Amino acid sequence: MSYFSKIREALQKEPQARPLPGRGAPQNVSNLRFTTLTVFTVLGLIAAIVVNRTVPQIADVEIEPYRVGASLDININGLYVSVLSGVILLYLGIAVFSFLDQDRRRKFIERAPFRFAVGLVLAVWDVLGTKFLLLPQPFFPGPARILEPFLMEPGYILQQILYSLRLFACGFVIGASAGILTGILIGWFPKVYYWVQPVLKISGVIPAVAWMPFALTLLPTPFGAAVFLITICQWFPIASLTAQGIQSTPKTHFEVARTLGAKTPYLVFRVAIPHAMPQIFTGISIANGFTFTTLVMVEMMGQPGGLGYYINASKVWSAYYKVFAAILIMAILFSLILWVLSLVESRVLRWQRGLVKQ
Amino acid sequence: MSTETILEIKHVDRTYIDTNDNTVEALRDVSLTVRRGEFISIIGSSGCGKTTLLRLIAGLDAPEAGSLRIDGAEITGTDPHRGYVFQQGSLFPWLTVQQNIASGLKARHVYRRQKADVAEYIELIGMRGFEKSYPHQISGGMAQRVAIARALINRPDALLLDDPMGALDSFTRADIQDKLLELWRRDKTTMILVTHDVDEAIYLSDRIAVMTPRPGKISEIKEVKLPHPRDRGGAEFLSLRRDILEKLHLASAHPEPEYSI
């Protein structure tokens, strides 16, 4: 599992800010420094807005307005500038909020150069991608163009998001439950270990999508087939890590419980499973890596909806700006899923806080 | 103290195979009678089989020969009437102090009826304010007090203590010893303590069973007739101490080789 745990570490643990060698306690951030760096934070984004507004549109690109709501007409540049303004306001809000606390101040200004760079990159991209069309088209649309699908077909996009989300939710719930259950049985009963562990070991290395032809043939609906494949993705890592967690429960814990008068259900549910919890969560985060891949792949190849489907359908029309839009959504959506799961994890494993060295 | 017998151990043998495939006689023909409500210590050097004996009493292991009877009934397995305190690190790390103490009640499905006992035992062991702490957040001495409370909350007839203070510094150790005496006097629980600390045994016990290794057996039982609180520097204390140490040293010294021509 060392390979997986490395992936997990890389995925989950953000490198902590380390103090520079040779320096003592972190220094206070003065008002002047904080204000300067706050301005610096939004300066790049402001530059991006200025570029979008002032650089003349050289290349012949159709920029049509869309009607939003009852009477508001907005084109892609309008939306792009609004989004950037929204981000600027958000940063300024955080800056005001961080002003009162030294720790928050330090944390906020740490990313200032990065945010500045993001703004500059957007500005350059805008010029090359939309204003002058120097990037090869239609593969590299400008940043404003990527937002066009949200104006063009917001309802349709939302539908695809919900489809993907529903697929993930079904696969996750079924797969994780099946994985945890299998893991407990393997970990607890030597007979189950004998018969199921080899199957798990062999089938676990097979990428889930390899089963796609069977899934599509044997299951009545494409949705059912996709859920099945995602279930497989979830099942293997969660089952094997749960089993490991159960098996590694120290004998003393069981003996303590027995001398306190515990019977088997207590030993399983109150001793072995709590002890396996950290490993169960490791299994879940490994599984999610595979699951996102499989989800998108399955949607691209045989689903009537979902973000993967959206990418595939857009590619056929060379609508690469829609592909980028879908990628943007995935980045946000999958990060949100991981974030929610990490919240659950830190709640369930709060007893580990300070115990495991970070 | 009554003279009623609570535990009767008769001619118990127990062997095990060690890591080098050697058969080790952990216990040979061990017999011991424990009276209800007494504080008895089993003392001996490491490897003399004292923990093995305690595990047999708890019902965690079974003997190869002989019998162990508690209140006249053969011991066949673990029972909450015999509480057990392990050496160290036996608290459930995923439960808080409060939940660890309550786990005995939960294991027996009586938590709802006896909820109030948890607070009482937290108070008794002086852990107020630490109820919500997790085991890794408290000191080793605190953890052992919690382990004792967790075993005692089931109101066992006998409490089996497997060197619970062995890994603690001497101040913490003395502190827990007094706490233990206090709990013993309060609940009149029969205490069976395994230890390798002679002072601890004399300070706490009514009787001390001295065990000698290879094969493990009880070589002598000493009565301690000093009144509590005992003076660790008192003349009788010290002479008893010398006595027991001599027994232990004699036991661990290699016997003279015998020559027969």
- Considering only CB atoms, A259 lies closest to which of B58, B96, B106, namely B58
**Highest CATH level, class, for A155-352:** mainly alpha
Whether omega for the bond prior to residue A250 falls within 30 degrees of 0, making it cis, is no
Contact A197, A243 (CB under 8 A): yes
pLDDT at A1: 42
Which residues does chain B have within 8 Å of residue A245's beta carbon, measured at their own beta carbons?
none
User: pLDDT digits over B88-97, tens only?
Assistant: 889 999 999 9
Domain regions of chain B by residue span: 5-252
The Cα–Cα gap between B259 and B261 comes to: 6
Which residues does chain B have within 8 Å of residue A356's beta carbon, measured at their own beta carbons?
none
The per-residue DSSP string of B127-179 comes to -TT-TT--GGGS-HHHHHHHHHHHHHTT--SEEEEESTTTTS-HHHHHHHHHH
Handedness of CA B85, B89, B91, B92 (dihedral sign): negative
Are A262 and B92 within 8 A, CB to CB?
no
The Cα–Cα gap between A17 and A285 comes to: 24
B229 touches A at CB < 8 Å: no
Predicted ipTM? 0.89
> Of B209, B146, B240, nearest to B12 (Cα)?
B209
Average pLDDT, integer, range B138-158: 92
SS3 call for B14 = strand
b/e A151-177 (16+ beta carbons within 10 angstroms → b) = bbbeeebeebbebbbebbebbbebbbe
Are A274 and B94 within 8 A, CB to CB?
yes
Copy the structure tokens of residue A349.
């494993």
Distance from the Cα of A257 to chain B's closest Cα (Å) equals: 7
b/e B39-58 (16+ beta carbons within 10 angstroms → b) = bbbbbbeeebbbbbbbbbbb
The two most distant CA atoms of chain A are separated, in Å, by 82
Are B94 and A351 within 8 A, CB to CB?
yes
* Reported confidence tier of residue B201, pLDDT bands at 50, 70, 90: very high
Which residues does chain A have within 8 Å of residue B164's beta carbon, measured at their own beta carbons?
none
Are B86 and A256 within 8 A, CB to CB?
yes
Contact B33, B202 (CB under 8 A): no
User: pLDDT digits over B222-253, tens only?
Assistant: 888 888 888 888 888 898 988 898 888 766 55
User: Is A46 exposed, middle or buried (CB count within 10 Å of its CB: 0-12, 13-18, 19+)?
Assistant: middle
More confident call, B83 vs A357: B83
**Chain A neighbours among B 168-227 (CB < 8 Å)?**
none
- Best B92, B105, B138 residue to mutate vs chain A (most A CBs within 10 Å): B92
Count the Cβ atoms, other than its own, within 10 Å of residue B22: 8
B82 touches A at CB < 8 Å: yes
Q: Report, in angstroms and rounded to the nearest whole number, the Rg of chain A calculated over CA atoms.
A: 25
Average pLDDT, consecutive stretches of 10 residues, N- to C-terminus, chain A (358 residues)? 51 51 67 91 94 87 80 88 95 92 89 93 91 85 91 93 96 96 95 94 89 90 93 93 95 94 93 95 94 94 91 92 95 95 93 67
Q: Which residue of A has its CA nearest to B56?
A: A259
pLDDT at B32: 92
Which residues does chain A have within 8 Å of residue B57's beta carbon, measured at their own beta carbons?
none
- Best B78, B97, B137, B152 residue to mutate vs chain A (most A CBs within 10 Å): B78
Which residues does chain A have within 8 Å of residue B150's beta carbon, measured at their own beta carbons?
260
Q: Which residue of A has its CA nearest to B58?
A: A259
**Chain A neighbours among B 5-34 (CB < 8 Å)?**
none
Give percent above pLDDT 90 in chain B: 37
Whether omega for the bond prior to residue B215 falls within 30 degrees of 0, making it cis, is yes
Looking at residue A192, the DSSP 8-state letter turns out to be H
User: Is A119 exposed, middle or buried (CB count within 10 Å of its CB: 0-12, 13-18, 19+)?
Assistant: buried
pLDDT at B252: 57
Distance from the Cα of B192 to chain A's closest Cα (Å) equals: 15
State how beta strands B39-43 and B190-195 pair: parallel
Are B107 and A257 within 8 A, CB to CB?
yes
- Considering only CB atoms, B104 lies closest to which of A255, A260, A277, namely A260
pLDDT at B261: 55
- Considering only CB atoms, B92 lies closest to which of A253, A258, A354, namely A253
φ, ψ for residue B7, nearest 5 deg: -130, 130
B61 touches A at CB < 8 Å: no
Q: Write out the residues of chain A at the interface with chain B, using a CB-CB cutoff of 8 A.
A: 252-253, 255-263, 266, 270-271, 274-275, 277, 351, 354-355
> Of A31, A41, A143, nearest to A89 (Cα)?
A41
- Strand ordering across the sheet containing B5-17: B23-35, B5-17, B65-70, B73-74
The Cα–Cα gap between B175 and B164 comes to: 13
Domain regions of chain A by residue span: 28-140, 155-352
φ, ψ for residue B34, nearest 5 deg: -110, 130
Residues A59, A64, A67, CA angle at the centre, nearest 5°?
Answer: 160
Are A259 and B78 within 8 A, CB to CB?
yes
Q: How far is CA A274 from the centre of its chain?
A: 27
Q: Does B5-252 carry CATH code 3.40.50.10860?
A: no
